[in-house]
Amino acid sequence: MSAPVFISYSSKDRQIAQTLCQALEARGQNCWIAGRDVRPGENFQESIVRALREARVMVLVFSSNANNSEEIKKEVVLAGRHKVTVVPVRVEDVVPNDAFTYEFATRQWIDLFQDWEQQVEQLVNQIDQILGRPAAIRPVPEKPIPVPAAKPRGRAKIVAITLASVLILAGAALAVWRPWQHAAPVVVRKSGPATQVTALQVPAPAPVPPTVSGPAQRSQTAKPAAPVVAAPPISKSRRVVNKTVATATSPASVIGTPPPAPVASASTPVAPAPPPAPVAQANADPDEAAWQTASSAASRTTYAQYIKQYPVGHHYQEAQLAMANLILNGQPTGKNFDGNWQTVFTCPNLGQYPGYSFQLAGEVTGGVYHGIHGVKGQPSSLVLDGKIESDGAAAFFGEIIVGSSLVGLGAARGTASDFHALVTFESASATGRRIEGRSCTLSFQRQ
């Protein structure tokens, strides 16, 4: 797979690079990004070289992480070798070091941290000019979307769903029209002095509600069966995500009582039954199939397999949260990790929002972790709780009280911010990462 726009970024800036990728693709640009387009089993370096060779524009996500990345320097050199135009976009107010100063000497960068929407539009226009495309009028999203977009449905699937819906409506109309054509009795209802004829109405199938998965959207398999009614609202708790599906009811409960069928006789032909509606083709997306397998088993093993196989899958975050909930709601077995653990919670810079770090002395007792930074409930505090399994797999739940809107991504001082994290413990150390929000890390050292 190749694309005219290659997105180069430090692995530490993966989240903002994916956000930029989605913003560009929402405006009609076809992008290649390693975190999504390097498939399982492919050689990472070979895939990057091949994608760069076939690209025409490199969008370089420049930050303090990129400024110190040797891999990005190699990608810039490869871009020059294959005559790929490099467009630097700064996501932080960082001055390029000597190596990048040389590379950027003849290039004008774009500062995304000043005015995201305006600068993304400028970037899109610049890419269009490089690719020789005419400028187009594009709808501008209200705000950047923080997660990669769900894969669009294929054209064949849309055609199949549309055809199924048309056949359902046509069959229902035929079933109503043919009996009436042969003098079938008509159902009437009296309403006051006048007599009102009640017509049989067949509503179009109701849309299936999406499943909850945080910022990401989920694809659903169309089921052209009996008419359905809308599902009740989806309820969520802080730790467990509940999902509901539409429930089918009988046609009579939705559209009223149909007219009685005519009695067959020699002079009255029997109306043929409408042809069965074709069933929409099952979703063949391997990502969706893997998720169905993982969520059906609902075990740590299957969730871990999905997370490993699809690191940028549609349900990646949902699988992480499900795995964290299994551990947090279960009985801890990691007594072998009991003791004192020096803990560091670190959040990197994100655009104009600076990073920060909390240090706390945590303690594990019976496989249960507890630690506090600052004064509980007060600004700039962190309360961290977790459970550890005997094999070192651990999940944590934390509550931060924002101390400054500058580091709280705009949230007001005193605002509570909850998060989950998955961590892997070894005998004397442990590392993990926050699941929701900014890509923050957790590190532990046994004392």
- Mean pLDDT confidence for 1-11: 89
Could you tell me the residue ranges of all domains in the chain?
A: 5-131, 155-255, 286-328, 335-446
The CB-side HSE value for 275 (13 A sphere, CA atoms) comes to: 7
For residue 313, is pLDDT > 50? yes
For residue 138, is pLDDT > 60? no
- Mean pLDDT confidence for 273-287: 56
CA distance 250 to 226: 8
Q: Mark residue 6 as left, alpha or beta (left: phi above 0; alpha: psi -120 to 50; beta: remaining).
A: beta
CA distance 422 to 324: 6
Q: Are 323 and 304 in contact (CB under 8 A)?
A: yes
For residue 231, is pLDDT > 80? no
Model-level pTM? 0.42
Mode of pairing for the β-strands spanning 57-62 and 5-8? parallel
For residue 235, is pLDDT > 50? no
Span 68-120, pLDDT tens digits: 888 898 999 899 899 999 999 988 888 888 778 777 766 677 888 777 888 88
- Classify domain 335-446 by CATH number: 2.40.128.120
Span 366-417, pLDDT tens digits: 999 999 999 999 988 999 999 999 999 999 999 999 888 777 776 778 888 8
For residue 152, is pLDDT > 70? no
Q: Are 339 and 360 in contact (CB under 8 A)?
A: no
How much of the chain exceeds pLDDT 70, in percent?
Answer: 64
Q: What pLDDT, on a 0 to 100 scale, did the predictor assign at position 84?
A: 92
CA distance 354 to 92: 9
What residue ranges in 157-291 does DSSP mark as E strands? Answer: 188-191, 194-197
Give the range with max mean pLDDT: 16-25, 146-155, 311-320, 392-401. 392-401
Q: What pLDDT, on a 0 to 100 scale, did the predictor assign at position 355?
A: 84
Q: Are 208 and 222 in contact (CB under 8 A)?
A: yes
Span 16-40, pLDDT tens digits: 898 899 889 988 899 999 988 888 8
Query: What kind of architecture, by CATH, is found in domain 5-131?
Result: 3-Layer(aba) Sandwich (3.40)
Cα 236 vs. chain centroid, distance in angstroms?
17
CA distance 338 to 348: 29
**What φ, ψ does residue 370 adopt, rounded to 5°?**
-150, 135
Which has more pLDDT, 425 or 242? 425
Q: Mark residue 198 as left, alpha or beta (left: phi above 0; alpha: psi -120 to 50; beta: remaining).
A: beta
Which has more pLDDT, 156 or 314? 314
**Topology alike, domains 5-131 and 335-446:** no
Question: For the stretch 37-52, what's the b/e string if a residue is b when 16 or more beta carbons lie within 10 angstroms of its beta carbon?
Answer: bbeeeeeeeebbbebb
For residue 226, is pLDDT > 90? no
Which has more pLDDT, 245 or 183? 183
Q: Are 91 and 113 in contact (CB under 8 A)?
A: yes
Long-range contacts of 94-99 (CB under 8 A, 24+ apart): 94/62, 94/63, 94/64, 94/67, 96/62, 96/67, 97/67, 97/68, 99/73
- Mean pLDDT confidence for 332-338: 94
* Secondary structure of residue 17 in the 3-state scheme: helix
Q: What pLDDT, on a 0 to 100 scale, did the predictor assign at position 301?
A: 92
For residue 433, is pLDDT > 80? yes
Angle at 351 between CA 316 and CA 110, to 5 degrees: 110
